Structure 1
Amino acid sequence: MILQPQKAEFYQQPTLDLAQALLGQILVKETKEGVTSGWIVETEAYIGPDDRAAHSFGNRRTKRTEVMFGPPGHFYTYVMHTHCLVNVVSGEVGHPEAVLIRAVEPYHGIELMYERRGQEKKEKDLTNGPGKLTKALGITKLDYGLPCNKQPIYIAEGKRSGIIESGPRIGIENSGEARDYPWRYWLSGNRFVSR
């Protein structure tokens, strides 16, 4: 498997554009157990200070959100409930924005994904949600702040394509009008999209 990490310039585009450009790219994680990867098939954009659903709403700067205030093209991982979630930092330095990776289609290391998620899982349920995909790929809070173009976790150039659909984001009911923004993007008809 020879994959080329996306160049740093790839992340220097407006967040809504990046959320769509990430679709079809390959998220790769290398661990001592092996390499796993998947085509990104669903994302959600969060536009920082003015987005009530964003962790950085109102320029909220905490130890957890600090990476979002830096340059784009780094991973922002955090634990929500019991699941680790993975985001790509976007936006300019000082303007904290990010794109949540919501679902991937397994590409490499599927047996290892089954070991991590459970052998009884249906293939489509391995990575069809933001907490499921991080567990399957072995992504943890330790990946916080790492660049998106270097091992052990990176985004590689992918060739998956298709029609991009958009709609409201998921799980942000208490965010006022922000819950209706159509900033969730997915590849139409892909069975690994979360819903």
Structure 2
Amino acid sequence: MQNYFETAETMDLAQDMLGHTFTYKSDQGDFSGLIVETEAYLGPIDMASHSYNGRHSEANDPLYQSGGTIYIYSIHSWLDMDISIQKAGIPNGILIRALQPLTGIEAMEINRNRTGFETTNGPAKWMAAFGIKDKSLSGTILNENNFSFSAKKVQTPQTILATPRIGVKNKEPWTSKNMRFIVKGNPYVSKLPKRDMNLETYGWL
């Protein structure tokens, strides 16, 4: 089977990933959710990328591996997760920013000490909800180890909105580029105002 994460441009894959499920087999059981928000990072040319200018360290090495490699990193005291995109040696990544929970919801709410949309509406929030506390699984391969990604979309977005990425400051022109993709109206999208939430269909067809 052709590697999904090496089949198209990174920006296109960041949009196509919306509506696929992401699953984690953990000691607490299975956690899964629909991907509702992503951000694309274009490697050495992208000032917001961890591999900007060819930066390569032991920590960000998963970005340099074949498409579909898990890259877990810390931002302040939180953990985020990227998926490496493109063939080995091309360090592009896609950040999974938010998930709509499917399985393991009760355990997620306990892990986060939150309920409802706040449980998984952000990149560090869903990681905490899934009980991921360290970087030990960074460098593992999707669909071979603890993490899996559905081969097909489980839901289809009614509308995909493209916006600037969140938290990319003082890095023009990259700050203003529309490289964040969301399922319009999905209440699990990070920082979404209540007035923009579609509570009937959650933004799916």
Q: Does 1:41 align with 2:36?
A: yes
1:193 to 184, 189, 192: 189
Q: TM-score, normalised by structure 2?
A: 0.87
Q: Does the CA contact (< 8 Å) of 1:19 and 1:45 recur in 2?
A: yes
Counterpart of 1:133 in 2: which secondary structure?
helix
Q: TM-score, normalised by structure 1?
A: 0.92
d(CA) in 1 for partners of 2:72, 2:17:
17
What letter is aligned with 1:180?
A: S
Runs of 5+ consecutive residues of structure 1 not aligned to the other structure: 1-6
d(CA) in 2 for partners of 1:193, 1:122:
15
- Could you say which residue in structure 1 is the equivalent of 2:125? 132
Instruction: State the Cα RMSD in Å.
Output: 1.2
Query: How far off its partner does 1:171 sit?
Result: 0.4
1:155 to 146, 149, 156: 149
- Could you say which residue in structure 2 is the equivalent of 1:11? 5
1:22-72: CA deviation from partner (whole Å, max 9, x where unpaired): 101111111111111100000000000000000100010111111111211
1:101-139: CA deviation from partner (whole Å, max 9, x where unpaired): 000000000011011001xx2310000000001011123
Q: How many residue pairs get matched?
A: 187
- Could you say which residue in structure 1 is the equivalent of 2:115? 122
Q: Does the CA contact (< 8 Å) of 2:109 and 2:115 recur in 1?
A: no
Runs of 5+ consecutive residues of structure 2 not aligned to the other structure: 192-205
Q: Does 1:22 align with 2:34?
A: no
Query: How far off its partner does 1:8 sit?
Result: 5.3
d(CA) in 2 for partners of 1:92, 1:52:
20
Identical pairs, percent: 33
Q: Does the CA contact (< 8 Å) of 1:73 and 1:88 recur in 2?
A: yes
Query: How far off its partner does 1:161 sit?
Result: 1.2
- Could you say which residue in structure 2 is the equivalent of 1:98? 93
- Could you say which residue in structure 1 is the equivalent of 2:161? 165
2:140 to 122, 143, 146: 146
Structure-2 change in CA distance of 1:153 and 1:8 (3 Å)? farther
Counterpart of 1:104 in 2: which secondary structure?
strand
- Of residues 41-50 and 72-81 in structure 1, the stretch that sits farther from structure 2 once superposed is 72-81
